């Protein structure tokens, strides 16, 4: 059996964790490389990439091909993106150099992805594109939505030091074709994830999973950034808890109008959130690190799609305005 070439494009917290699992578990069945940058890249090149799994006694360390120049890598059988939504457009040209005719691209993304409406039969808006998710249609043109396999990750991860990642839970991953087909590509990629000891399932309705996760992300991420609060702090504050519930209801109304089905009630979702523990959301992690915030896919698209579906989102609009201004000040160092 030929070795499968896999590149994790964006080996930060989640992408790096996936890279370690694949490289340490698949052995000669896969050739795994990563695209990273800065101090994180330097540490990986010097000392390898380390992963502290939840409840594990010692970290897993792998020596792995790592670069910030994708043109130094050969074309890949599979690309897995660990980039946030606003980082994808600038990476499109580099990613395109890794594509072969049959390369699939697993997009691990929070919020509404750029390919969301490709072959969508639920919403009545098939092939609709949003410039704020994909400026100038670069991803649609250079990568192509037909290559995409959607991935929703329920996995807490953080880069605790350059080259060192820590997971806060066992986590799980849900994969799905935008078309809803249960394709052979989908099953084989899910097989690789399973072989790498990643808790994975497949679905014909990946958009439902996107909205189910977004119900929490659209509320907790911006509120945590605005307040610097941990998840436990948000859940313990009556006013913040009330705001979370209002945002969740708006997200659910927009998703439902676009054909999404929700697996649990808002009350059940809030109850689940009480057990997450004192963790920092990804947006709070980025804020504290002085990085640009992932606003458009998580908050901006709730508002934009609310307008598309004629569903009011007043609380989300206020939160969007506040967190957008916060991001500007943070980028200025204010």
Contacts of residue 221, Cβ cutoff 8 Å, sequence gap at least 6 = 110, 281, 282, 283, 284, 294, 298, 299
Nearest to 214 by CA among 112, 332, 139: 112
What residues form DSSP beta bridges with 70? none
Tokens coding 15 = 């992408």
Q: Check: CB of residue 190 under 8 Å from CB of residue 150.
A: no
Q: Which residues are catalytic?
A: 213
Nearest to 78 by CA among 166, 157, 175: 175
Tell me the residue ranges of DSSP E strands in the chain: 4-9, 30-35, 49-52, 60-62, 65-67, 76-81, 99-108, 148-154, 157-161, 164-167, 172-176, 200-202
């Amino acid at each position: 059996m030929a070795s499968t070439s896999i590149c994790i494009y964006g080996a930060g917290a989640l992408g790096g964790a996936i890279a370690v699992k694949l490289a340490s578990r698949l052995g000669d069945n896969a050739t795994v490389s990563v695209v990273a940058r800065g101090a994180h890249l330097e540490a990986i090149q010097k000392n390898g990439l380390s992963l502290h799994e939840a409840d594990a006694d010692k970290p897993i360390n792998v020596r792995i091909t790592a670069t910030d120049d994708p043109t130094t890598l050969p074309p890949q059988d599979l690309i897995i993106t660990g980039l946030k939504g606003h980082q994808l457009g600038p990476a499109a040209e580099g990613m395109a150099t890794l594509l072969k005719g049959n390369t699939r691209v697993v997009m691990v993304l929070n919020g509404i992805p750029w390919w969301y409406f490709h072959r969508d039969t639920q919403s009545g808006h098939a092939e609709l594109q949003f410039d704020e998710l994909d400026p100038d249609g670069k991803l649609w043109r250079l990568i192509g939505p037909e290559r995409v396999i959607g991935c929703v990750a329920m996995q807490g991860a953080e880069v605790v030091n350059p080259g060192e990642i820590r997971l806060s839970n066992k986590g799980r991953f849900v994969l799905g074709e935008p078309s809803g087909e249960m394709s052979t590509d989908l099953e084989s990629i899910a097989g690789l994830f399973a072989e790498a000891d990643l808790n994975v399932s497949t679905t014909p309705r990946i958009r439902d999973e996107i909205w189910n996760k977004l119900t929490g992300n659209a509320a907790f991420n911006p509120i945590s950034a605005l307040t610097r609060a941990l998840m436990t702090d948000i859940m313990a504050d009556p006013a913040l808890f009330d705001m979370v519930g209002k945002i969740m209801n708006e997200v659910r109304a927009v998703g439902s109008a676009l054909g999404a089905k929700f697996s649990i009630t808002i009350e059940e979702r809030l109850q689940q959130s009480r057990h997450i523990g004192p963790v920092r959301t990804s947006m709070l992690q980025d804020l504290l690190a002085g990085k640009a915030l992932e606003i458009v896919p998580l908050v901006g698209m709730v508002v934009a799609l609310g307008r598309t579906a004629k569903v009011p989102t007043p609380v989300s609009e206020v939160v969007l305005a506040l967190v957008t201004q916060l991001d500007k000040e943070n980028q200025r160092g204010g």
